[in-house]
Amino acid sequence: MRLSRGPNPFVLLFVLIVAPAVSADVAILRTDYYQKTCPDFNKIVREAVSTKQSQQPTTAAGTLRLFFHDCFLEGCDASVLIATNSFNKAERDDDLNDSLPGDAFDIVTRIKTALELSCPSVVSCADILAQATRDLVTMVGGPYFDVKLGRKDGLESKAHKVRGNVPMPNQTVHDIHGMFKKNGFTLREMVALSGAHTIGFSHCKEFSDRLYGPKADPEINPRFATALKDLCKNHTVDDTIAAFNDVMTPGKFDNMYFKNLKRGLGLLASDHILFKNNRTRPFVELYASDEKAFFEDFARAMEKLGTVGVKGDKEGEVRRRCDHFNNLNV
């Protein structure tokens, strides 16, 4: 007897009943997303970040921080770029985002302006921020990682949602990991991403409680503490005073941040506890002794970060200006 080669009706029925439904609005990200619609995308971003970084060397750290703050609230949708208007107080104006640097917003605006001339209404601000972050990280010595593209820009930006979604300098490992965990990150990935503090700076108000008064932290390296006290002595009058996160190689993306933690040179309390905590210390020690391991883990974690909460066509748009929704009444 000859067996039929046609589809098994029972298998088809099983697939129809059991297979999970796939949303039509899931954003499908890929590295060549703009290959046909905006072929100069990579070149435009690369040239803009190169010029900006040479003009303002803190741009890389600022943009990396901006990207992180964007992705951890409502996903990587450029909601952090939205400006406050008479209808809405936006994310960037919450107290926790006050110190997000203007240079990071500026580089996105520069790239968007250039792209609108080359391929109008094609490239999302979310993709610009993701790509610029990668290019800037590699420019200052960090690892290369793939950036998959195709995100849409979010339709909401609410300041009151920031608190509880962005880590704070005085939180415990347990609390910080809780924020990372709900976005799909392991403890090891949390420590790897914390290595972003190998570049950039923090304002004195974010660590002054470790320096002054009865609750001053005795575990800070004494010479480091003395230098910070001198630097920050007028921080209550001038809130722009800041210190480098990595006092040894502040402009280079390397594993010095982790080496510093072992020496009592962690700037923020949330940095120091990574070495103090028994669960996170092994990862700190690994990255301090093996820069290659840190770079590999950081690159994988950044690729993962870039996929958090991405929006599809029905959940987002391609903004004409990165600081405004296309519907200005939103």
Q: Which residue has the tokens 């499908």?
A: 28
User: Are 152 and 214 contained in the same domain?
Assistant: no
Active-site residue flag, 69: yes
> CA–CA separation, 187 vs 180, rounded Å?
8
Range of the domain at 233: 173-302
- Tell me if 284 is assigned to some domain: yes
Residue 14 inside a domain? The answer is no
Candidates 229, 245, 314, 219; CA nearest to 64 is 245
pLDDT at 214: 84
Confirm whether 110 is domain-assigned.
yes
Question: What does the pLDDT look like over 254-301, one tens digit per residue?
Answer: 999 999 999 999 999 999 999 999 999 999 999 999 999 999 999 999
Rg (CA), the chain: 22
Q: Is 62 annotated for ligand binding?
A: no
Phi/psi class of residue 121: alpha, beta or left (left: φ > 0; alpha: ψ in -120 to 50)? left
pLDDT tens digits, one per residue of 280-292: 999 999 999 999 9
Query: Does 285 belong to an annotated binding site?
Result: no
Number of Cβ within a 10 Å radius of residue 244: 18
State the pLDDT at residue 4.
42
Cβ neighbours for 219, distance < 8 A, ≥ 6 positions apart: 264, 272, 276
CA separation for the pair 204, 134 (Å, rounded): 28
One domain, residues 147 and 248: no
Record the pTM.
Answer: 0.90
Same-domain pairing of 278 and 228? yes
In 3D, which of 149, 130, 131 has the Cα closest to residue 43?
131
3-state secondary structure of 238: coil
Residue 313 near residue 25, CB atoms below 8 Å: yes
Q: How many domains does the chain have?
A: 2
Domain holding 275: CATH number?
Answer: 1.10.420.10
Check if the beta carbon of residue 325 is closer than 8 Å to that of residue 82. yes
Mean pLDDT within 172-192: 97
Q: Is 198 annotated in some ligand binding site? A: yes
pLDDT band per the 50, 70, 90 thresholds, residue 213? confident
Confidence of residue 327 (pLDDT cuts 50, 70, 90): confident
Q: Is 313 annotated as a binding residue?
A: no
Residue 308 lies in a domain: no
Average pLDDT, the chain: 92
- What is the average per-residue pLDDT within 314-318? 95
Residue 329 pLDDT: 54
Asked whether residue 30 is domain-assigned, the answer is no
CB atoms within 10 A of CB 6: 6
Catalytic residue of the set 69, 177, 235, 272? 69
Which amino acid is it at 219? E
Residue-wise burial string across 7-22, b where 16 or more C-beta atoms lie within 10 A, e elsewhere: eeeeeeeeeeeeeeee
- pLDDT at residue 8 greater than cutoff 70: no
Tokens of 88: 């809405």
Q: Please list the alpha-helical segments (H only) found in the chain.
A: 9-18, 41-55, 59-71, 102-118, 125-139, 173-182, 187-194, 222-231, 256-262, 269-276, 281-289, 291-305
Length of the chain: 330
CB atoms within 10 A of CB 56: 16
What CATH number does the domain containing 155 carry?
Answer: 1.10.520.10
Q: Does one domain contain both 64 and 131?
A: yes
